[in-house]
Amino acid sequence: MKKITIILIMILTLIPISYSYGDGHDDFSVALEIIESQTPCEDLNDTQFEFLGDYYMEQMHPGEAHERMDEMMGGEGSESLRIVHINMGKNFYCKESSGFGMMGGNMMQGMMGNFGYASWGIITIFYIILLAGLIILVYFWIIRLWKNTKNRRRKK
């Protein structure tokens, strides 16, 4: 009787674990088969690219991080998440890009796509004029102090 009870408890304990791994999300056999067979990009459809993108995303952000990212991008089964996975599959497997991505073409591109010239606006021109004015004021102040010290020496 004790053996049956222990076996029953073990089975009941393992059932939720088997369901969590049985949802097919962690099964990347389709993606691995495509990668191992080196299928040309022209022969792949969007569903296969979606599997590839999901696989690559799991490699970069394994486990719970992948699940959270999926939720942020629309949740499981949403069209937006499907498009993200398709684009990731195309970008990583085919080295194909649909643009420069979030950060631009190269590193250090500057803010808002201005390619390093984000601060060359009216504020910067005002700042340069202000800085030049301060330098001129300091220059004249030094000259005035210099003249005052010469006048004091002559009076003595």
So where are the chain's domains?
A: 1-101, 117-156
CA distances from 3 to 9, 109, 154 (A): 10, 68, 114
Three-state DSSP class for 108? coil
Mean pLDDT is lowest, of 41-50, 66-75, 91-100, 125-134, for 91-100
How far apart are alpha carbons 78 and 112 in whole angstroms? 29
How far apart are alpha carbons 27 and 21 in whole angstroms? 9
Mean pLDDT value across residues 17-35: 65
Mean pLDDT is lowest, of 5-9, 56-60, 63-67, 103-107, for 103-107
The answer, yes or no, to whether residue 64 has pLDDT greater than 80, is yes
Each residue's pLDDT tens digit, 79-124: 988 998 888 888 888 877 666 555 555 555 555 555 555 556 777 8
The answer, yes or no, to whether residue 7 has pLDDT greater than 80, is no
Name the residue with tokens 């301060």.
Answer: 134
How far apart are alpha carbons 128 and 132 in whole angstroms? 6
Mean pLDDT value across residues 50-76: 88
Mean pLDDT of the chain: 78
CA distances from 47 to 50, 52, 93 (A): 5, 9, 14
Residue-level pLDDT at 22: 44
- Select the more confidently predicted residue: 74 or 110: 74
Terminal alpha carbon distance of the chain: 118
CA angle 36, 82, 27 (to 5 degrees): 40
Name the residue with tokens 């808002």.
Answer: 112
Spacing of C-alpha 36 from chain mean position: 28
Name the residue with tokens 């990668």.
Answer: 35
Confidence grade of residue 133 (pLDDT, cut at 50, 70, 90) = very high
92-117 per-residue burial string, b: 16 or more CB within 10 A, e: under 16: bbeeeeeeeeeeeeeeeeeeeeeeee
